[in-house]
Amino acid sequence: MRRSGVRQLPRFSDVSALFVRVALDHPLPTLFDYRWDSPIPPSVGTLVSVPFGRRHIVGLICEVVAHSEVPAERIRAVDNFCGACPALSAEWIRLVTFAADYYQRGIGEVALPALPQALRDASRWSRLFAPESRYRLLPAGRDALPRELPARASALRRLADALAEVEFLVAADARALHPKAVATLDAWCEQGWVALDIIDAAHVPAPQPTSIEAVRLPTLTDEQADAVDAIRGAQGFAPFLLHGVTGSGKTEVYLRALAAILESRPDAQALVLVPEINLTPQFEAAFRARFAALDATAIVTLHSGLAEGERARHWFAAHTGRARIVLGTRLAVLASLPKLAVIVVDEEHDPAYKQQEGLRYSARDLAIYRAKQHGLPVVLGSATPSLESWWQADQGRYTKLTLSRRAVADAVLPTVRLIDLEEERRRGRASVEGLSGPLLAALRARVERGEQSLVFLNRRGYAPQLACDSCGWVAGCPRCSAYVVLHKQERTLRCHHCGWEARIPRSCPECGNVDIAPMGRGTQRVEETLASAVPGARILRIDADSTRRKGSAQALFSDVHAGEVDILVGTQMIAKGHDFQRVSLVGVLNADTALFSHDFRASERLFAQLMQVSGRAGRSGLPGEVLVQTRYPRHALYHALARHDYVGFANSQIAERRDAHLPPFIYQALLRAEGRTLEAALDFLQQAGEALKTIPAAERVTVYDAVPLTIVKVMHVHRAQLLIESASRGALQATLHAWQPMLRSLKGVLRWNVEVDPLDI
C-alpha cells in the first residue's frame, strides 16, 4: 500500500479507528490510506478532501477498513467530506475500476477526471450545493424587454438574450454577463417580466411521468417499427446495431424506443451519446420537443463546452436521478446514472468517441460494457458502422436492425457522380482554383433554383503550405516537424499541432524571392474562390476556425437551417448528423489523399466520411446529387460509394483485415514515448521491448520495432511508438499489467503512455 503521509504526526492509538482507502488523480495505480476521524461513519463512494504532500486535494473513498498497513505515525486524517453530494454507487466504482484496469491507468486517473471540475475543488462544495436562484423569462418579458431596453445598453441586452436562449438562467451565470445582474433580474421580476425560482440542489424530486405527445408523431416505416419493437422488448443485456442509411429516421427510432422504456419505469434514466458538441443542440431540441411534459431539468447535456457551474449542475441532476435523459459527448459515458435503463450511441463509428489524451478510452466500448454491467439494451446507430461493430453483428453477438430506405416518402438516396480531373485536364476544360467546371455549373444551377449546396473539404485554413518556387523553401514550424498552414484572413502562418503563429513573410527567408505563393487549398481559399466564381451566392464557412467562440457553431447552423445560406463550405463538422432540408447538391474536394495513407483504417474512414457527407443531400424530397472530384475514378471505394453499397465495402474490408491479421481479428496496444531527442525516445522503447520479452504471457504477443511517429516532433518534443499485438485479448492484457512496473523503472524520456485498442498507428 502506498505510504501517503510526509509530516510526522502523533501516534494514533485508538483501536476503534476506521481507515479509508482513497483514489487520487495520480499516476501511481494504487489507493492511499487515510484516517477517518469524523463521528459520521464513512461510505464508499464519498468525495473527500485529503492532504497530499503540501497540497490538499479531492479524492474518492473506494474502501473502508478497520486496519491499515501504513504505520500509524505516517497516516494523516481526512480533512473534510462532501456530505451534500450522495455517495457514488458501487456500480459506478466498478465501471471506473474496469476502465482503469483495461486501459492501464490508476483508478483515480479515471474516477476524478470523470467528475465536473467544480466537484474536484473542495472550496466550492458549499456554494455548489447551496440553494440556487433561477430566473425564467415570462411571455410578458419576451415582448417587453426588446422594446424597453435602451439601445446602447449592451450588457443588459446580453442578459436579456441569455434569458431568451435558455430554459432558466442561474444567478451565478447571470453575474458573468452583467455586474449587477441579480439586482436587474429582481427588478424585472417586480415588472412581471421574469419569474424567480429557488431550487434546493440537494433535493431530489419525485420522478416525473414520462410521456410524449400523442399527436403529430411521424408515421413509422415498417423497418422503423420493427426496430422500436425489438429495442423496447429487450430483456437484460441486449446490444443492437442499428444500420440505417442516411435520412432513414434513426433519431425517430431512438425517440420512440426511449419513450417506451422510460414510460415503463417512472424513475428510469437514458443516456444518449453523440460524437461532437455541435450535434447536441439539434438532438436536445428534438428530445425537448418530444418529451415536452418533462421539467426543463429532466433533460440535460454533458460536454466540455459547458461552463463549469453548468456542467456541475447537469452532472448532479443525473447523479441524483432528477435528469431522466442525459445527452452528451464521450465524457458522458462515465456520468453517474443510478437508474440507467438504456444507452444510445449515435454515429457509433466516429473516431471522436476515442479519447486521444489522458485516459485513452473508447466511449462506445465503455457504453457496451456499462450496458452489460447493468443488464440493459444499448443501441449503436450508424449509416456506416465501424468494422468492429459490423463484425460483431455478423458473428451474432449484436442484433442487427436495418433501415434500408429514407423515412420521408419521396426522399431517395442522392445520385453519386465522379468527376475525373485527369479527363477534365486532357479535354482542356478549365477549372477555377481546384473547382472543376461541372461542379461550378452545378453550384450555379442550385443557386438559381433557390436550393442549397454543400462543398466538403476536410482541410481548414487558406492553404496547407506557403512555398517559394525559386529555391523550394516551404514554411515550417520551428517547434514541430510539420509545415505551417496559411490563414489569409488573419494574415498569419499557424501550426495546427502546437499553435505557433507568425506573420506572413514579404519574401522568401532563404533566397529573398518575393513571389512566394500558397500551395494547395483549404476551406478559406475555397470560400474566397466561390465568392468570385458564383456571384451573388450567400456563402458560409463552418470549420474549427469559424466556430471558436462559444455558441458560434449553433448560430451558423441555424442560418443554414433557416435558408439564409446558398453554399455551405466546411470540414467534417458539417459531414454527419445534420438534417439539412434544403441541400440538394454536395461537392467533395481532395478526397484522394486518403486512398494512399499508411493507416490501414484510412479507407474505412474515407468511405464513412463520404457516405455521411453524401447523405446531407436530398433529405426532404428534393433530388440529391453528389459530385466527387477525383483522379482515380476507377477505385473500388468510389464505385461502392456510387452504389451506396456499405455492405459490399464492409465485407471486402473485413476479408482484407482477416488476411492481414488486423483488427478485429487481432488485439493491439501502443507504447508511445516522448523525449528531448528522437534517440532518447527510441532507446526507451528499445529497453521496453527487451523487458517485455521476460514476461511469460508475452510468448503469445508480437512486438514490432520502435519507429518515429509521422509527425515526429511537436513543441520541441520528439515522439516514437512501439506496437504490440496478440490474437488473445487476455494474453495482451496480462502482458500489459506485468509490463507497467518495468516501464516505471526505466528512465530517459519525458513522458510515456500505453494506449489499448489504438485507432491511429
- Rounded CA-CA distance 309/325 in Å is 19
**pLDDT at residue 6 above 50?**
no
Regarding whether 398 and 431 lie in a shared domain, the answer is: no
Q: Where are the beta strands (DSSP E) in 78-203?
A: 80-81, 132-137, 169-170, 194-199
Q: Of 403, 424, 452, which one is at a domain's C-terminal end?
A: 403
| pLDDT score recorded for residue 412 | 84
Tell me if 616 is assigned to some domain.
yes
Element (H, E) at 467: strand 465-468
- What is the predicted pLDDT for the residue at 358? 85
Q: Residue 590: how many CB atoms within 10 A of its CB? A: 18
Can you name the residues that pair with 325 across neighbouring β-strands?
A: 270, 299
- Model pLDDT, residue 216: 73
- For residue 495, the 8-state DSSP code is -
678 in a structural domain = yes
Residue 5's pLDDT is what? 30
* The C-alpha cell that represents 305 in the structure block: 463546452
Pairing relationship of beta strands 377-382 and 340-346 according to DSSP bridges: parallel
User: Which residue, 570, 563, 566, 569, is CA-closest to 535?
Assistant: 566
Half-sphere exposure of 372 (CA within 13 A, CB side): 12
Task: Tell me the one-letter amino acid at 275.
Answer: P
Given this model, what pLDDT does residue 1 score? 34
My answer on whether 101 and 147 are in the same domain is: no
What would the grid cell of residue 226 be?
Answer: 420493427
Q: Which of 68, 101, 126 is the last residue of a domain?
A: 126
Assess if residue 7 is contained within a domain: no
Are residues 346 and 252 in contact, defined by beta-carbon separation less than 8 angstroms? no
Pairing type for strands 625-630 and 583-588 reads parallel
* Residue range 204-210: mean pLDDT, rounded: 59
pLDDT band for 11, please (50, 70, 90 cuts). Answer: very low
Residue 213, pLDDT > 70, answer: no
Distances (CA, A) of 585 to 13, 83, 200, 454, 611: 78, 57, 51, 6, 14
Nearest residue to 582 (alpha-carbon basis) of 447, 435, 458: 447
**What does the alpha-carbon distance between residue 594 and residue 51 come to, in Å, rounded to a whole number?**
51
53: phi > 0 → left, psi -120 to 50 → alpha, else beta; which? left
pLDDT digits (tens, 9 = 90+) for 88-132: 999 999 999 999 999 999 999 999 999 999 899 998 887 777 676
Residue 505 counted as domain residue: no
Per residue in 50-73, pLDDT (tens digit) is 999 889 999 999 999 999 999 988
Q: Are residues 162 and 40 in the same domain?
A: no
Sign of CA dihedral 525, 528, 533, 534: positive
In this predicted structure, what is the pLDDT of residue 13? 35
Q: Do 688 and 723 touch, CB atoms closer than 8 A? A: no
pLDDT, position 15 = 37
Residue 380's CATH number: 3.40.50.300
- Measured in Å, how far apart are the chain's first and last C-alpha atoms? 36
Nearest to 433 by CA among 524, 506, 504, 494: 524
Q: How many residues does the chain have?
A: 761
Pair 28, 143 in one domain: no
Alpha helices in 395-466 (DSSP H): 421-426, 437-449
- Please check whether residues 142 and 72 belong to one and the same domain: no
Q: How deeply is 64 buried, as exposed, middle or buried, from its count of CB atoms within 10 A (0-12, 13-18, 19+)?
A: middle
Residues whose CB is less than 8 angstroms from the CB of residue 721 and which lie 6 or more positions away in sequence, other chains included: 670, 671, 672, 673, 685, 706, 707, 708, 709, 761
Got the DSSP string for 74-110?
G--B--EE-TTSPPPPHHHHHHHHHHHHHTT--HHHH
**CB neighbour burial string for 87-125, b if at least 16 within 10 angstroms, e if fewer:** bbeeebbebbeebbebbbbbbbbbbbbbbbebbbbbebb
Res. 663 pLDDT band, cuts 50 70 90:
very high
Are 102 and 183 contained in the same domain?
A: no
Number of H helices, E strands in the chain: 22, 31
Domain total of the chain: 5
SS3 549: coil
3-state secondary structure at position 515: coil
Mean pLDDT of 645-656: 96
What's the grid cell of residue 310? 453548468
Q: What is the pLDDT of residues 457-473, one digit of tens each?
A: 999 999 999 999 899 89
Ramachandran angles phi, psi of 719, nearest 5° = -130, 145
- What is the rounded CA–CA span in Å between residue 76 and residue 68? 12
pLDDT of residue 205: 57
Q: Is residue 280 located within the same domain as residue 367?
A: yes
The strand ranges marked E within 641-736 are: 667-675, 702-703, 707-714, 717-726
On the 0-12 / 13-18 / 19+ scale of CB atoms within 10 A, 345 is buried
Helices (H), 483-601: 523-533, 552-561
Query: What average pLDDT is seen over the chain?
Result: 89
User: How far is it, in rounded angstroms, from Cα 231 to Cα 379?
Assistant: 8
Least Cα distance to 723 among 749, 744, 702, 743 occurs for 702
**What gap in Å lies between CA 63 and CA 45, rounded to an integer?**
9
Q: Which residues of 515-549 are buried (b: 16+ CB within 10 A; e: fewer)?
A: ebebebbbbbbbbbbbeebbeebebbbbbebbbee
CB 377 within 8 A of CB 586: no
| Residue listed under C-alpha cell 485516459 | 359
Confidence of residue 202 (pLDDT cuts 50, 70, 90): low
pLDDT tens column, 475-502:
999 999 999 999 988 899 999 999 999 9
Residue 278 DSSP class: G
Tell me what pLDDT residue 211 has: 62
Its pTM stands at 0.88
d(CA 693, CA 63): 35
Q: Give the C-alpha distances (Å, rounded to integers) separating 627 from 201, 421, 460.
A: 53, 12, 20
Which range of residues forms the domain containing residue 420?
Answer: 415-462+521-649
Inside any domain, residue 241: yes
Last residue of a domain, one of 352, 368, 403: 403
Mean pLDDT of 717-722: 97
Contacts of residue 610, defined as CB under 8 A and 6 or more positions apart, other chains included, come to 588, 591, 628, 641
Peptide bond into 664 cis (omega under 30): yes
Residues 335 and 270 reside in one and the same domain: yes
**689-717: pLDDT as tens digits:** 999 999 988 899 999 999 999 999 999 99
Q: Are 548 and 532 in contact (CB under 8 A)?
A: no
Verify that 357 and 336 share a domain, yes or no: yes
Shared domain for 31 and 165, answered yes or no, is no
Give the CATH number of the domain where residue 32 resides.
Answer: 3.40.1440.60
Asked whether residue 113 falls in the same domain as residue 185, the answer is no
Q: Which of 186-196 are b and which e, b meaning 16 or more Cβ less than 10 Å from the residue's Cβ?
A: eebbeeebbee
- pLDDT (tens digit per residue) in 439-456: 999 999 999 999 999 999
268-325 per-position pLDDT tens digit = 999 999 999 888 888 998 999 898 877 777 899 999 888 888 899 899 999 999 999 9
Q: Torsion-angle region of residue 602: left (phi > 0), alpha (psi -120 to 50) or beta? A: alpha
Identify the helix (H) or strand (E) that includes residue 345: strand 340-346
Look at residue 547 and tell me whether its pLDDT is greater than 90.
no
Q: What is the pLDDT of residues 318-374, one digit of tens each?
A: 999 999 999 999 999 999 999 999 999 999 999 999 998 888 999 999 999 999 999
Examine residue 500 and state whether it is found in any structural domain, yes or no: no
Is residue 409 situated within a structural domain?
no
Closest among 353, 529, 554, 516 to 435, alpha carbons compared: 529
* Residue 475 domain flag: no
Q: Are residues 180 and 308 in the same domain?
A: no
